[in-house]
A and B are shown apart, each in its own frame.
Chain A
Amino acid sequence: MSNPLMMNFLDGRLYKGALKNFCAPGLNCWSCPAAVLACPIGVMQAIGGSMNFSVSLYALGGVILIGLLIGRVVCGYLCPFGLFQELIYRLPTPKFKLPRGAERIKYFVLITFVLILPAAVTDYAGIGEPAFCEYICPVGTLEAGLPLLITHPELRAVLGGLFALKIAVLLIVLIGSATVERFFCRVLCPLGAMYGLLNRISFYRLSIDEKKCVGCGRCARACPMLIDPTAAPNSSECVRCDRCAADCPSKAIEIGLK
């Protein structure tokens, strides 16, 4: 949806039109040749690290509004990197469970790398670095870095340690995503962290009919995020993938706008 200009991958052109004023709902690098929308996390860091402002009201307000309406449906259905992880997880590799508490890392990433560092660590001109994009974001490396290096030979001359770090992070995320379902969404994604906080009150929500529920536990076993929907139907980790509702033999799980 946010990357329709696939032909731009051939020559590495970037879309420069007015649509880039608007943020994509999911994590999507604005330097990706196919992208027509801006990245909300990129905008937060760019505005937060600018000379004039320390926080992007536009991007933050937009994320809160989308989160209030649909919560982590964005992660489940609208984020291109979520789809990419789902495909990678289908590879025949050993599968592991995420260690307890690893999900909390994404809140640290959000607060430190997206909100604090770009605004607090600035150069002589008062401009901060987009710390998440620069040191962590594997989406930028995959969607923009690698395609642009292929189509722009002049960029290869300035490759250095930072690119090596970005490639290392991308490899860790790829291996993680092949072995742990939705590794990046669960552990590192700052946008998922924000939408997750709004899952509990969002209009799009999951409900369990206790009269119909037979307590078989199939919903918990079907959940890629390892949530028990009967105990926490609107957990901040739920990406609203609908697998629990589809697997429920008594149709006790309803998901929709309420």
Chain B
Amino acid sequence: MSNVISTSTMTMSTAMIRLLIGLTAGAMIWAGVERGELSMILNKAARVCLECIGLG
């Protein structure tokens, strides 16, 4: 048995959780781009955000 604390807990299930979360995150980014979030972001980010500066 390993003496390194964190790698001793690096089990197969951790690898599976990482894989699932990574795939889910990738799918979320793809879905967000596909449904047109980028144009909304650019529209907002290119102007002064009055709420952000306390004037909204």
Contact B53 A141 (CB under 8 A): yes
Q: B11 to chain A: closest CB distance in Å? A: 11
- Closest residue of A by beta carbon distance from B33: A58
List which B5-56 residues lie within 8 A (CB) of chain A: 5-7, 10, 14, 17-18, 21-22, 24-33, 35, 37-38, 40-42, 44-49, 51-56
A165's partner among B44, B46, B49, B54 (CB-CB below 8 A) is: B54
For chain B, the bracket of interface size reads 35 or more
Query: For residue B5, which residues in chain A have a CB less than 8 angstroms away from its CB?
Result: 207-208, 210, 230, 233
Look across to chain B and name the residue whose beta carbon is closest to the beta carbon of A131.
B51
Report whether A58 and B21 are in contact in the complex, using a CB–CB cutoff of 8 Å. no
What B residues does A159 contact at CB under 8 A?
A: 54-55
Does A220 touch B at the CB level, under 8 Å? no
Cβ of A39 to closest chain B Cβ, rounded Å? 8
With contact pairs A21-B42, A140-B49 given, residues A57 and B31 touching in the complex (Cβ less than 8 Å) = yes
A31-B53 contact in complex given A20-B41, A206-B6, A233-B5, C-beta closer than 8 Å = yes
Interface residues in A, total, Cβ within 8 A: 61
A134/B7 in contact, CB under 8 A: no
* Chain A residues closer than 8 Å to B21, beta-carbon distance: 64, 68, 198, 201
User: Does A30 contact B26, Cβ atoms closer than 8 Å?
Assistant: no
Closest to B14 in A: A201
Min CB gap A114→B, angstroms: 13
- From the candidates B3, B28, B33, B55, name the one contacting A211 in the complex (CB within 8 A): B3
In the complex, the answer to whether A209 meets B37 with C-beta atoms within 8 Å is no
Can you name the residue of chain A whose Cβ is closest to the Cβ of B51? A134
Within 8 Å of chain B (Cβ to Cβ): is A61?
A: yes
Chain B residue numbers with a CB within 8 Å of A18 are 42
Quick check: B6 and A38 within 8 Å, CB to CB? no
Chain B interface residues toward A at CB < 8 A = 3-7, 10, 14, 17-18, 21-22, 24-33, 35, 37-38, 40-42, 44-49, 51-56
A61-B31, A163-B55 known; 5 new pairs, CB 8 Å cut-off, are A53-B37, A61-B29, A65-B26, A166-B54, A208-B6
- Pairs A–B under 8 Å by Cβ, sample size 7: A57-B28, A133-B52, A134-B52, A144-B53, A209-B4, A230-B5, A233-B5
